[in-house]
Chains A and B, each alone.
Chain A
Amino acid sequence: MDMKVSKKKLGLKEKYQHMTRGLGWETTYQSMDEVFPYAKYEGIKIHDWDKWEDPFRLTMDAYWKYQAEKERKLYAIIDAYAQNNGHLSVTDARYINAVKLFLNGISPLEYMAHRGFAHAGRQFPGVGPRVACLMQSLDEIRHAQTQIHSLSNYNKYYNGFHEYRHMLERVWYLSVPRSFFDDAITAGPFEFMVAIGFSFEYVLTNLLFVPFVSGAAYNGDMGTMTFGFSAQSDEARHMTLGLEVIKFILEQDPDNLPIVQQWIDKWTWRGYRVLTLVGMMMDYMLPKRIMSWKEAWEVYFEENGGALFKDLARYGIRPPKWLDQIEQDKDHISHQAWATFYNYAAACNFHTWIPTDDEMDWLSQKYPNSFDKYYRPRLEYWREEAKKGNRFYNKTLPMLCQTCQIPMIFTEPGDPTQICYREVDYKGNKYHFCSDGCKEIFEHEPEKYIQSWLPVHQIYQGNCFNEGVDPTAEGFDPLAAVLDYYHLNFGRDNLDFEGSEDQKNFDAWRGMATKNT
C-alpha cells in the first residue's frame, strides 16, 4: 500500500488568495448598502473588489510571526537602553526636546491612524483592502504603544513628557497635527486611504522616519532609533498599500480620477505643512546633524515623489499642486518654525535655544541662499538680548491659518521678507490662510473648516481656562490660567533650555556617570 502523497506546499500567491478571498459574502438579511453605508457617498465607483492585490501578500499567520519577532527585538533593546542609563549617552540634553516633540506631536497620531484604519477597513465592502486595513490598524496601535513605552523611560528623568494625552487636545501647537488627523478621520474611507495611506505614508513618512530616526541613532538615542525603525519596517508595507489603493481606485472607473487628484493635492499640502515640525527637528534639535531638512526633502520628496508621480502619469494623475511654492519653501520653513517656538517658548512643553556658532555655520553652509541673509540676524540679536537678561518671550497670541492651524509664519513665494496673507469671505465671516494651498482647501469644503478649533480664538472665547476660573477677577493672569489648563508647569516644562531643570539634571547625572565623586 505504498501511496505516494505529494505534499505540495502552497505558493505565496495561492496562499494569499486562500487567506483573503472567500472570507466575505453578499449579505441578505440587510442590503449591502446598509451594511456598508460609507462605501458610495464620496463618489468613488468600484466595480470589482476582487481586482485588489496586496503586493506583499502577507497573510495573518505570517503577519503575527514577523511582528512578534520585531517586538522581541525592540523590547530587548529598549530594556538594555533603560538598564544602562542610555538617556545619559545622548549627545546633549537639548536633543531630548526633539523626543518630547515626537511623543507629544507624533505618537498620538499613530493611535489616530489605528482608529482610522480600523474604521476604513470596516467600511470597505471588499475583502482584500479590509484585511490590509486590519493589519495596518494593528501596526499603528503597535507604533503608538512602542513609542509610549520607549519614551516613558525619558519621562522618569525629564520634564514635558508627563501629559501628552491631555495636552494633545489643548496645547496651541498640538492643534496642528491633531487637526490634520481629525480632518482625515472625519472624511470617508476612500479619502482617508488617499490621505493617510497614500499621501502621508507614501509621499511623506519617509521624511519623518528615515532621516530623523537615523539622526536619533547618530545622537546616541538607541530607544528612538529602535522604535523608529521598527515602526518604519511596517511603513514599507503601508506605503505599498497606499500605492495599491491609488492604482486600484483609478483602474476601477475613469470618473474616479478627478476626485483622487483633488485628494492628492489637498493631502500632500496638508501633510507637507505638518512636516514643518520635522524640518525644524532635523535642522535645530539634533545636536549632531546628518542631513539638513532641505537635503532630506530633495531625496525623499523630490527624487522619490518625482519617480512616483511620473509613474502615475499613465493614469492621468499629475504631481500635487503648489509644488513650485514647496520647492522655494525648503530654504525657509525649518528656520521659520524654530523662530516660532523660540517666540512662544513660555507656552511650550519643551525648551528652545539659540544654536551655537558651529551650528549656525552648519546652517549657513546647508542654506547658503537663506540662512545668513534672513535668519542669522534675528538669532544673533536674540542671543545678545538673552545675554543681557532680556530673552525674547512673545506674549501676544498669533494669527492662525484657518486650515492648517499653524501661526501665519510662512512667507510669500518669492519674497522671504513678506508674510503671506490670504483671506476668504464666507457667509458673512472672514477667514485667513497662510497660503494658496490652505485657502483652496478651505474653499473646497468651507463647512468643514469653519468649525476649526483654533487655539488662539478659543483662548479669547474663554474656553481654555480650568473650571471655576474667573477671567474677570482682579489681577487675572491669562497666560498662567492657560498654562494651568494645559497642565504645563511654568519654569520646568517651558522657557529656554539655558538654565532649565533638564539641563542641570543632565549635567549632574552625566557627571555622576563618568566620575566617581
Chain B
Amino acid sequence: MSKVFIALQTNDDTRSIIQAILADNPHAIANEQPAMVKIDAEGSLVVRRSSIEDLIGRDFDLQELHINLISLTGHVDETDDELTLSWNT
C-alpha cells in the first residue's frame, strides 16, 4: 500500500496537533528532522478537530493547520471536523 504523509513545523502550536494525529492514527510513524516533524502513514491519515481541541482546551479550526503545515501528500478531503489524506490504491 502507498504511504501518505503530513509534515509540520516543530513548535509549540504543533506539539498537541502531532500528539493528536499520532493518537488517532496508531499506524502512523513520526520522523523528527531539524525544525520539522514528518508523519508517515500507510494508506491514509486523519487529522481530527475534536482530538486536537481535547488537548489544547480551546476551539480549533482545522484550517489553522495551514499556519504550520510544511507539506503533505495524498488526496485531501477536508470537512469541518476532519482532514483526511489518502491514496486510492
Contacts and interface: CB of A to CB of B under 8 A. Distances in A.
State whether these chains interact: yes
B80 A66 contact: no
A217 B32 CA distance: 13
Contacts of B3: 303-304, 307
A225 B35 CA distance: 8
A311 B88 contact: yes
A236 B69 CA distance: 7
Contacts of B64: 66
B89 to A, nearest CB: 5
Contacts of B2: 306-307, 310-311
Contacts of A11: 79-80
Contacts of B88: 311, 314
Contacts of A239: 71-73
A214 B36 CA distance: 7
B27 interface: no
A363 to B, nearest CB: 20
A138 B4 CA distance: 28
Given A217-B34, A229-B36, A310 B71 contact: no
B56 interface: no
Interface in B25-70: 33-36, 38, 63-64, 66-70
Q: In the complex, which range does the number of interface residues on chain A fall in?
A: 35 or more
A311 B88 CA distance: 6
B76 A210 contact: no
A308 B72 CA distance: 12
B70 A57 contact: no
A515 B76 CA distance: 53
Residue among A214, A290, A314 having the largest count of chain B Cβ atoms under 10 Å: A214
A69 B13 CA distance: 13
Nearest to A12: B80
Contacts of A291: 33
A240 interface: yes
Contacts of A303: 3
Nearest to A307: B2
Contacts, number: 101
A60 B46 CA distance: 25
A288 to B, nearest CB: 9
A239 B66 CA distance: 13
Contacts of A70: 66-67
B11 to A, nearest CB: 9
Contact of A214 (B35, B69, B80, B89): B35
A62 B63 CA distance: 8
Contacts of B77: 55
Contacts of B5: 304
B76 A56 contact: yes
Contacts of A56: 63, 66, 76, 78
A95 B19 CA distance: 34
B45 to A, nearest CB: 13
B68 to A, nearest CB: 7
B70 A233 contact: yes
A27 to B, nearest CB: 33
Nearest to B74: A307
Contacts of A229: 9, 35-36, 70
Interface of B: 2-5, 7, 9, 33-36, 38, 63-64, 66-80, 87-89
16 contacts: A12-B78, A66-B67, A210-B70, A211-B33, A217-B36, A232-B71, A233-B66, A233-B67, A235-B71, A236-B69, A236-B71, A239-B72, A240-B72, A304-B3, A311-B2, A311-B88
Given A213-B35, A307-B4, 15 more contacts: A55-B76, A66-B67, A73-B67, A210-B7, A210-B70, A211-B33, A235-B71, A237-B66, A239-B71, A304-B3, A307-B2, A307-B3, A307-B74, A307-B89, A314-B89
